Amino acid sequence: MRITLAQTASVLGEVDENLEHAHAIIRDAGSEHSDVVVFPELFLTGYSLGRVDKDVALSTDDPRLLALGTIVPETDVLIGLYEDGLGVHNYNAVAYYDADKLVHTHRKLYLPTTSEERKFFSPGQTLRAFDTRQGASRR
């Protein structure tokens, strides 16, 4: 398995610009025959959300995100985002996409008490393995 770790910065609050950057990285990873591209935590929005004056929360089924897995159909994408929980709960989340669908969403469980994370995010409630076309989990 070939994994591309996208160690790159995002632009705070600029989801569309960060998506464009992600597209380029995914295309490059695909040209290197990568099976999965892994982006940093909160890549799509940036981390210091208290300095952003607009709503940048995203749904994991946003068409722009679902399209990430289709850029290079053979390359899956794991990307960090500020997830809109459709109510009072928003999450520091990571979503896994393949060419066909959203495969899994993980919401950060343990939020640090010394940062602003608890002001913006609710903690996730579960941790579990999930199957991908790259391999099956052992349950």
Q: What are the sequence ranges of the domains in the chain?
A: 3-120
Q: Could you give the strand order of the β-sheet that contains 36-38, starting from the edge strand earlier in sequence? A: 3-5, 36-38, 76-84, 90-97, 102-107
pLDDT computed for residue 114 by the predictor:
65
Please give the average per-residue pLDDT across 30-46, as a whole number: 95
Report d(CA 107, CA 84) in Å as an integer.
Answer: 11
Tens digit of each residue's pLDDT (9 = 90 or more) over 88-124: 788 999 999 999 999 999 999 988 876 777 777 888 8
Q: Which fold has domain 3-120?
A: Nitrilase/N-carbamoyl-D-aminoacid amidohydrolase (3.60.110)
**Quick check: 65 and 82 in contact, CB under 8 A?**
no
pTM for the predicted model, two decimal places:
0.91
